[in-house]
Amino acid sequence: MIAVIGWGSLIWEPKTLEVTPLWRTDGPGLPVEFARVSSRNRLTLVLIDSAPLQPTLWALSRKASLAEAIRNLAEREGTSEFNIGSWPCQDTRGELKRRVVSIVADWARGRMLDGVVWTALGPKKPNGENGLGTDQEFMEYLRELVKDGNAAAAKEYVEKAPSQIRTPLRSRIGQEFGWS
């Protein structure tokens, strides 16, 4: 059995992702935060080193192999297979990747899973550069969207993100904009 871990739009908008319809709420605790500005004016959840662990969700893939599940998730995310994390895996270069793979491996073994996949896109700053922006940069980005009347997609993403994902930045967003 192959599991797909999710914490964002995979849950409410699976599109081409072939999973069982039930998303379970006892996924591994992973370091996710609102730290990627997407092409649709959304501030999305991604894995980052400095984030506190958040309880993720998971569903069973309808794909028979890890390679097929990786391809299916990459297609759903509109990205390359390079941006899909998996366990088991051969390449564990990078501290964040080692940490996430270790957490996922322990969690997966306890559930007798054969493999696990997740989205591993990195953070992206409001100016479009890859890398982690500051909370202040992200808050200013959202303020500009609101001011310009372009915040609908950003608001939708924050409000549809699973309620169990309670990150520090989500708290600030909720306090300032009332998005919950």
Each of the 180 residues of the chain gets a pLDDT tens digit; together they read 999 999 999 999 999 999 998 999 999 999 999 999 998 899 999 999 999 999 999 999 999 999 999 999 999 999 999 999 999 986 666 787 889 999 999 999 999 999 999 999 999 999 999 999 999 999 999 999 999 999 999 999 999 999 999 999 999 999 999 998
**Structural domain harbouring 89:** 2-177
Q: What is the pLDDT of residue 94?
A: 74
- Give φ, ψ of 129 to 5 degrees: -75, 140
Please name the residues in contact with 139: beta carbons below 8 A apart, sequence gap of 6 or more: 169, 172, 173, 176
End-to-end CA distance of the chain: 34
Which helix (H) or strand (E) covers residue 59, if one does?
strand 57-60
Kindly report whether the global pTM for this prediction surpasses the value 0.85. Answer: yes
Domain count, the chain: 1
Distances, alpha carbon 96 to alpha carbons 38, 78, 122, in Å: 21, 22, 11
